[in-house]
Amino acid sequence: MPTSAQTLTAPNSNVKPTACIALADGTVFYGHGFGATGTTVAELCFNTAMTGYQEIMTDPSYAGQIVTFTFPHIGNTGTNVEDDETADPVAAGMVVKWNPTEASNWRNTLELGDWLAARGRIAVGGIDTRRLTRMIRQQGAPHAALAHDPDGNFDVEALVAQAKSFSGLEGLDLAKEVTCAQSYRWDEMRWAWPDGYPTQTAPQHKVVAIDFGAKRNILRCLASVGCDVTVLPATATAEDVLAHNPDGVFLSNGPGDPAATGAYAVPMIQEILEKKDLPVFGICLGHQMLALAVGAKTIKMGHGHHGANHPVKDHDTGKVEITSMNHGFAVDSQTLPDGVIESHISLFDGSNCGIRLANRPVYSVQHHPEASPGPQDSFYLFERFAQFMADKKSA
């Protein structure tokens, strides 16, 4: 059991706990399990979005992380097949304040607990998420073991030991684990009432998208601005990319340490930038890959940015956008070389949120302009990409 120097937090009820979170420092939170049973070990982060828990759990950028939701009403709209950002949940586990209530939404097809159980993901409710979030903010994202046992039997010392032994995300290349196995075409556009997802039947631009962990709604946004999208695995070479004779190259979001993924992605990007004057657009990990390719460096953040209410300032226009974010690493703006302009910054902490190359149609942002969930203030970035490709053709 934890020593007297460590914190033990019990559930606020007389019901026997059936799940617990053991942190590497010995802190233990007890609660009520739902979803799958068993144990998972990962980095613990928090997300402040009020909607989109299904999209968040299926966002490949959350590989290697357990997500604490600060909004208490998680599960109240159920789940459905249309809102998955990838085939299965990628986040390692879920932590919530209140146990999910019966779903009430016309699009619901499966209760959240059943959806998680069918996909092998553990969740715990009844947790003091405000206290847990404060811990993460003050001390950084901890390593944690999340366990769910319907009988409530936990070897706490063993769980703490598992959390301590977790290697963390630094130096970890997770893009290879979540990328596609082979190339494929994408023509589905953004959801629209009343028919759902329409198909792009008259594309104007050929785009190669590098899949470091791409969300489906990013690909839908590309299709919605007139792109014929071919998705290639994260390990694709410049030769693979250029063989498709694209009008533009897109670098997707993804998980893990950008420096580790950059070992093979950066040379590919550098070769494309050297051989072709193509429009290039990157998001999230793709933003970090582009920054590394032009000579900048990345750093691990204390607790990262995860939520749908992050204010970002566009230096070029002076406008402030409310954005969706999900990243634990950031581009170090102090390392940006000459010719690389910082285009966006976070108004929360001043960290870098975008770059562009001077006099070239090459740019990237740290935030998620496709939202899903979140505001759509930044959708113009997809339109800019399409305009760059159109301008290139006309020139």
By annotation, the residues acting in catalysis are 284, 368, 370
Question: What is the greatest pairwise CA distance in the chain?
Answer: 72
- Going by C-beta distance under 8 Å and a sequence separation of 6 or more, which residues neighbour residue 386? 204, 205, 225, 226, 227
Per DSSP, the three-state class of 56 is helix
CA distances in angstroms from 116 to 33, 97, 106, 216, 354, listed in the order given: 11, 17, 20, 20, 34
Pairing of strands 297-314, 340-346: antiparallel
Q: Each residue of 154-178: b (16+ CB within 10 Å) or e?
A: bebeebbebbeebeebeebbbbbbb
Which residue in 87, 22, 91 sits closest to 53, CA to CA?
A: 91
Which residue in 59, 52, 91, 93 sits closest to 75, CA to CA?
A: 52
Answer yes or no: are the C-beta atoms of 290 and 262 closer than 8 Å.
Answer: no
Residue type, 330: A
CB atoms within 10 A of CB 338: 7
Residue 67 CA to residue 247 CA, distance in Å, equals 37
- Going by C-beta distance under 8 Å and a sequence separation of 6 or more, which residues neighbour residue 75? 53, 96, 100, 101, 103, 111, 112, 113
Residue type, 175: A
Pair of tokens at residue 334: 């102090």
